[in-house]
Amino acid sequence: MAAAAQSPTPSIREAFFNLALAIGITVAGLEVGYLFYSRFPYDPVGYLVGRDFVNTWVGGELALSGHPQSHFGVEAYNTLLAEKFGPGYPLHIWSYPPHLLLFTWPLALLPYATAYVLYSLAGFILYLAVASQGRWRAEHLILLALAPAVIVNIWCGQNGFFIAALLVGGLLQLDRRPVLAGVLFGALSIKPQLGVLLPVMLALTGRWRTMIAAAATILVLLGLTCLVFGTGVWAAYINDAMPTQAKVFLRDYENFMVHMPTVFMNARVAGSPLELAFLMQAAVSLAAVTALVWTFWTQRDHVLSNALFVTTTFLVTPYAFNYDMVVFAWVIVSLLDRDDNERWDYWLMLAVWTVPFATVPLGIAGLPVSSIPLVAFGARLLWRMHKDAVIRPSTADITDAQRLRIA
């Protein structure tokens, strides 16, 4: 229940909007400058513009070949990239579960630049359509469009738009269309680390139809992948692709670490031993799961609960990138108009808003602090729900009329 007595003055909300917009425009300007100084189709450091979209586009070609598994290993994959784009092309690793190829192969039928533009545009439109929740308020659309995570996702040529649409769409459809929510959550298995808490939340809230639909969707996707590419594609993914991803934790591919605003990667960027980094991540992961259980054990504020769920999703895993944080734009816009926001809430939202862009320069500068805003934001959400539970009278002491007002 929102507490109107604690409502911030309009100037605080307006200041947040102006600062968030200024940050978004600045990051977008840097992206334009990056493109301006690029020797198209290559960027200033030798990547194709769109960087990680190379994996999506080349993966589509591999899917059309019928034997994508032959290039899941890092050496074979980078040899292929050197053959296609020239010797010395910057290192890439194949990290996606094979069933992603069921969705991306049509992109390989187009030239790289055309496919990249269409992929980014289609994802952006889908994300806006889902995250706006059908409420076409200009200031909300502006923030959703200019969130730093949005710009970073386009710059990296990543799938953050689609991940956000699947996760947000599933959360929004839980009550109205539980089977559809399950299908969306099942499709989110293309990035399994971002769905690891979904079974916990769904079980706590007794959403068994959604769980069954999600499991069935995953099984169908796995079965189709085996049918199209053969069962060996999963063996290759486990034996070749996954060990390469594990080497990121060992600092074999250190350049990827500064893109991850997780506790583990912050610790590794700071030079902490592997054991200490895992211990720190384990402590935060345990706290995140505990917070999730407390939040969903009983019915609490819907918007705050969803915000806490998204936040704990990024706190519980050591492997999440800045471009995956597009979903936080929806979280922040959802919280923006609440009448119980305080000054701290706006400052924390602004910090989380900035993380997707700031994590890279902070990491390069040896300041591994990009996970701190997420930890603080999650803690604040917990406090707000706890305070709301204390303020809300017990149902045993209220009249029917009061109960209707609370509902």
113 vs 116: CA distance, rounded Å = 5
Whole-angstrom Cα distance, residue 290 to residue 348? 21
Q: What is the pLDDT of residue 198?
A: 97
Looking at residue 126, its amino acid is L
Query: CB under 8 Å to 304, separation ≥6 — which residues?
Result: 335, 381, 384, 385, 388
User: How much of the chain is helix, strand and coil, in % rounded to 5?
Assistant: 75, 0, 25
Question: Cα–chain-centroid distance for residue 371?
Answer: 14
| Residue 404 resides in a domain | no
C-alpha distance across the termini of the chain, in Å: 9
Q: 90 exposed, middle or buried (CB, 10 Å; 0-12, 13-18, 19+)?
A: middle
Sequence letter at residue 220? V
399 falls within a domain: no
Residues 6+ apart with CB under 8 A from 204: 292, 293, 296, 297
CA-to-CA separations, 221 to 128, 235, 312, in angstroms, rounded: 26, 16, 26
> Model-level pTM greater than 0.95?
no
In a domain, 124, yes or no: yes
320 is a domain residue: yes
Domain count of the chain?
1
| Rounded Cα gap, residues 238 and 203, in angstroms | 28
**CA–CA dist 155, 49 (Å, integer):** 8
Cis peptide leading into residue 41 (ω within 30°): yes
Question: For position 392, what pLDDT does the model report?
Answer: 58
The predicted structure's pLDDT at residue 390: 67
Give the closest residue to 22 by CA, choosing from 176, 142, 172: 142
Burial label for 9, CB within 10 Å (0-12, 13-18, 19+), is exposed
Q: Is residue 175 part of a domain?
A: yes
- Residue 401 falls within a domain, yes or no? no
Phi then psi for 20, rounded to 5 degrees? -60, -40
Residue 8 has what pLDDT?
Answer: 54
Q: What pLDDT does residue 402 have?
A: 36
pLDDT in tens, the chain (407 residues): 444 444 556 789 999 999 999 999 999 999 999 888 888 888 888 899 999 999 999 999 999 998 899 899 999 999 999 999 999 899 998 989 999 999 999 999 999 999 999 999 999 999 999 999 888 889 999 999 999 999 999 999 999 999 999 999 999 999 999 999 999 999 999 999 999 999 999 999 999 999 999 999 999 999 999 999 999 999 999 999 888 888 877 776 778 889 999 999 999 999 999 999 999 999 999 999 999 999 999 999 999 999 999 999 999 999 999 999 999 999 999 999 899 999 999 999 999 999 999 999 999 998 999 999 999 999 999 999 998 876 654 443 433 433 333 33
Residue 232 is encoded by which pair of tokens?
Answer: 């060996």
Q: Of the candidates 308, 259, 22, which has an alpha carbon nearest to the alpha carbon of residue 148?
A: 22
pLDDT digits (tens, 9 = 90+) for 38-48: 888 888 888 99
Residue 400: inside a domain: no
Cα–Cα distances in Å, from 136 out to 57, 128, 375?
Answer: 33, 10, 31
Classify residue 407: in a domain, yes or no.
no
Q: Which domain holds residue 151?
A: 4-391
CA dist 108 and 119 (Å) reads 11
